[in-house]
Amino acid sequence: MSIRLDPRRLGVLKRLAAEAGVRPGDLVLVWVEERLDAERTGAAVPASLDVELTRRLDELTARIDALESARNGGSDQPSTGGDMVPVKVEGATADVPKPRKRRNAVSAAAGPRVALHDEMIAVLSERGPLSAAELAGAIVERGRYTPPRSGKPLDAAMVSQRVSNPTYRSRFTRNEGRIGLAG
């Protein structure tokens, strides 16, 4: 089941679940089951959350409202939620804002990003044909290439995949397990 949940409420739900020692999805399930049982039997909805948790929930909600009001320049208008994105939360999907990064964003301190194929060409120009593992090691030694997005360290498989990629295939050759530059 998917639910849309305000990011402030999601944070409170996670906090309450942590205090109760259960997963957020399990806590929501308990609340829904209690409510359904109460509706079916006609009894009052049980207060499964003790008074302390309810009080803390109210305090957190008030603090969040105050922070949001201050962020909106004193306006009491809640955020529109237009920047919400689905996030998997313990078996349910809730919408929470995520900071969005440009796909190839590079911090100013890091300097310009060096493409893997450019670094491969530079190393092969200096050292001649190398195995994929040797080429990966040499690129790591130079320290100019940083893997984008995934952060996975460069290895022989990544080098081999780049050589096999149809976009870059014309730039490299393979001969007896060694990668070289195409004529």
Q: What is the pLDDT of residues 64-86, one digit of tens each?
A: 888 888 877 665 555 555 545 55
High-pLDDT (> 70) share of the chain, %:
73
The token pair that represents 6 in the structure block: 């305000």
Whole-structure pTM value = 0.41
| Higher-pLDDT residue of 167, 80 | 167
Alpha-carbon distance of 167 to 84, in angstroms, equals 35
Burial class of residue 89 in the structure, from the number of CB atoms within 10 Å of its CB (0-12 exposed, 13-18 middle, 19+ buried): buried
Q: What percent of the chain has a predicted confidence (pLDDT) above 90?
A: 19
Report helix, strand or coil for 124.
helix
Q: What pLDDT was estimated at residue 60?
A: 79
pLDDT digits (tens, 9 = 90+) for 12-57: 888 888 888 888 888 888 888 888 888 888 766 555 545 666 777 7
Report how far Cα 109 is from the mean position of its chain's Cα atoms. Answer: 23
Q: Kindly list the structural domains of the chain, giving each domain's residue range(s) and its CATH number in brackets, ordered by start.
A: 7-97 (no CATH), 108-181 (1.10.10)
pLDDT range class, residue 131, cuts 50, 70, 90: very high
